[in-house]
Amino acid sequence: MWSCCEMPPLSRRAMIRASGALFAWSFLPRFARAAASRDPRLVVVILRGALDGMSAVAPVGDPDYVALRESIALSTSGERPAVPLDGLFALHPAMPNLARLYKEGHASIVHATATPYRARSHFDGQDVLESGQPGTGSIETGWLNRALGALPKGERVNARSGLAVGLVTPLVLRGAAPVLGWAPPVIPRAGDDLAARVLDLYNHRDPQLADMLGKGLDTDRLASRAGMANEKARGGPDNAEGMKLAAVGAARLLAQDDGPRLAALAFDGWDTHANEGAATGRLAQLLGGLDGALQAFEETLNPQWKDTAILVVTEFGRTAKINGTVGTDHGTATVAFLVGGAVKGGRVIADWPGLKEAQLYEKRDLKPTIDLRAVCKGVLAEHLDLSAAMLASRVFPDSAKVAPLTGLMA
């Protein structure tokens, strides 16, 4: 026996085991200790084509803004005024729902943000955005799938798998962790009897395909219970109706007790090279569709909305100055939106670089001052309780120098 002030001597092996356990603990997600009191949902929305962040959230207080934007510059006065957010930024008038959520403290905006990618190819930019890798290369898995796989087995989020919305699973959700797929139907669904006979045939001829079909049928049954059996696609992912339908379908599945907890979906058409428009026009229509989708998530997920976070991201931004076709070309920094009942909102998070020519990236683009990986890490750390070590090593490889943004979640 030993006194309360004394400790028995530790062997070298015991010390190694103890230090190893402490090292391993730093990599373990903390979700197991938080899951008992809440049931979080996380949705990642990807805007393919590169959102013009300087029009979505205009730096109206920057003295160089109007000269760069000319006819597409927004104003806080006039017939369709932008919505002032603070002394520098104003939100596009096509997003009244986001403005309300911002005012209520359930939406934040991160400005002048970008991935590590600095070229301007849509394909490479989207790969870097969704893979979470520091650069381009052979990319097969996405950071959201790796985050899902890093959660403890048996926890609510992990056990419910992920949800990919659309005909093709976005790269951000591809990987080893289980993922369900759902897309708004464009043809009548097969009857249960036909599906059972096809599944039986595949079980005998192609077990791997049978497994995939079985998972698809499980998703179909989940969708039917959510009242989505007779939904018909009335638009694509680049128009308001299509965006809303995708959001409603995803939200209904996320709301199910046995449904998924993480989801990814992509909206197309954000490549505004020509006739972008200001308070009205092509970009306004796209932003209005996104605003409607966010509202659909809020309304459909109630009462799960209080535990929900939606992260809206894009591969890069647009040029600071408009081009000869009254649009904007491929740029660098842009905005990210963070929306939901679990969000600590009412803020524009920015280290504004300025818009003078010497302050622009390569004298043409909004300069990035916030790494988008820091935003993603902050959401995963505070909403799903993944450790910083896990985020830096597994979810976003080679990113130890990129610290998670803190204070993003309520």
pLDDT digits (tens, 9 = 90+) for 161-170: 899 999 899 9
Report phi then psi at 113, rounded to 5.
-115, 155
Res 301 pLDDT > 50: yes
Max avg pLDDT among 9-18, 68-77, 135-144: 68-77
Look at residue 217 in the predicted model and tell me its pLDDT: 54
What is the arithmetic mean of pLDDT over 320-324?
98
State the average pLDDT for the chain: 85
Give the amino acid at 190.
A
Residue 322 contacts by C-beta under 8 Å, 6 or more apart in sequence? 68, 69, 70, 71, 72, 276, 328
pTM for this model (two decimals): 0.82
pLDDT over threshold 80, residue 51: yes
Of residues 215 and 406, more confidently modeled: 406
**334-339 and 83-84 as β-strands: parallel, antiparallel, unpaired?**
unpaired
Work out the average pLDDT over 377-404.
97
Stretch 384-404: mean pLDDT: 97
pLDDT of 271 reads 98
Dist. CA 362–CA 357, nearest whole Å: 9
CA distance 148 to 289: 28
**pLDDT tens readout for residues 181-199:** 999 875 444 455 545 554 4
Q: Is the pLDDT of residue 25 over 60?
A: no
Higher local confidence (pLDDT), 214 or 29 = 214
| Reported confidence tier of residue 138, pLDDT bands at 50, 70, 90 | confident
Residue 38: per-residue pLDDT: 76
Distance CA 32, CA 19 (A): 22
- Is the pLDDT at 7 greater than 50? The verdict is no
Contact 48, 389 (CB under 8 A): no
Measured distance CA(110)–CA(350) in Å, rounded = 6
Q: What is the mean pLDDT of residues 388-401?
A: 97
pLDDT above 50: residue 179: yes
Residues 6+ apart with CB under 8 A from 235: 241, 242, 243, 245
Residue 200 predicted with pLDDT over 90: no
The answer to whether the beta carbons of residues 148 and 64 sit under 8 Å apart is no
Q: What is the pLDDT of residue 48?
A: 98
Which segment of 138-142, 281-285, 292-296, 401-405 scores lowest on mean pLDDT?
A: 138-142
